[in-house]
Amino acid sequence: MSEQPRANTSASAPLLRVRGVSVTYAAQRSIADLLARRPANGIVALDSVDLDVNAGEIVAVVGESGSGKTTLARVIAGLIDADEGVVEVEGEGPNDWRSVGMVFQDPYETLDPKRTLGEFVAEGLEAQGLPMDRVNTSLEAAELLPAAAFRDRVPEELSGGQRQRVVIAGALALNPKLVIADEPVSMLDVSMRAQILKLIEQLRRDQGIAWLFITHDLSLAWAISDRVVVLYLGAVVEEGAAEQVLRNPAHPYTRALLAALPSTDPGAASTHSLAAGEIPQGDTPSGCRFRNRCAHAVEACANKRPPLEAAPGGGAGHRVACIRAAELPPLS
């Protein structure tokens, strides 16, 4: 994990507060549904998600594709509405704050090839009627130096890493207290990833910016986050300090994600079973939503959705949604 100073996570009022957020997408009806005149079941993207991010904290939300990570990011950013639940930043709803920035996964799609970098960074400032001197300040904060040399350039003149720095500069323009980064390094090579992660940590340290870091890669969460939230089929199945969750995972799904990480020892064989299959599409399983892929599932797992409770042997704030967490074998 990062060696940077950690945020104080004991504050009574979090910067970001998410409570009971649920999103269901409409699904197309099958031929059988049409013939039987049945409505199509919706696709549950998020199901009663709670999440806090404290000032100056980096929280990683991890899970496979289809777990609901991007939907959660877009709800928090105010890009889509939740069907239920509350999202607040400093006690205000998404229509009342400007203190949230967004960094998308693909800088090639985010940046308009016909617009200069300065024009891109200035978009939010123009919309809010704010001074344009923030353009240079934001480019400099993203380490695009000298800023004057980058303002009039266009995206095709930049590398992938430089493009993502421009996207970060755009997110910084409104002087946010929280930035949501949705898979911000997945399109970059290894060396560029390390540089962007270093930049995120530096912005947290120097400007006190909190980050919600969305990723499918637990190694990135390990490298950068203070806390980790594990999402599966739209629900939180484990959360806690990164040190606790990633060194002592209490949920079978978290263990499976860790087992899937490549070993640094070419001759080492993982002793953990990978979760069978992929995230199911369509109807959510009854009870524990991971039970159909879990090697430790028993009949009782189908009866009731397990609540988030204190993880056996875990530290403060380490919670898990698994009725068999206390029975799982120790990690070797």
Per residue of the chain (332 residues), give pLDDT as tens: 554 445 554 446 899 999 999 999 987 666 665 666 655 567 899 999 999 999 999 999 999 999 999 999 999 999 999 999 999 999 887 665 678 999 999 999 999 999 999 999 999 899 888 889 999 999 999 999 999 999 999 999 999 999 999 999 999 999 999 999 999 999 999 999 999 999 999 999 999 999 999 999 999 999 999 999 999 999 999 999 999 999 999 999 999 999 988 765 444 444 444 455 666 666 788 999 999 999 999 999 999 999 999 999 888 999 999 999 999 998 86
Between the alpha carbon of residue 125 and those of residues 99, 101, 280, the distances in Å are 13, 12, 42
Q: Please give the model's pTM, rounded to 2 decimal places.
A: 0.89
Residue 263: what pLDDT? 63
99, amino acid identity: S
Strands, E assignment, the chain: 16-25, 43-53, 58-62, 84-89, 100-103, 178-182, 210-215, 227-232, 235-241, 309-310, 319-320
Cα dihedral value 158, 122, 95, 230, nearest 10 = 20
C-alpha Rg value of the chain to the nearest Å = 21
Six-digit token string for 87: 């999202």
Which phi and psi angles does 322 have, rounded to 5°? -160, 125
Residue 260: what pLDDT? 87
Residue 38: what pLDDT? 55
Task: Give the right CATH number for 16-99+176-249 from 3.40.50.300, 3.40.1180.10, 3.30.70.580, 1.20.1440.80.
Answer: 3.40.50.300
Residue 102: what pLDDT? 95
Lookup result for tokens 């031929």: 31
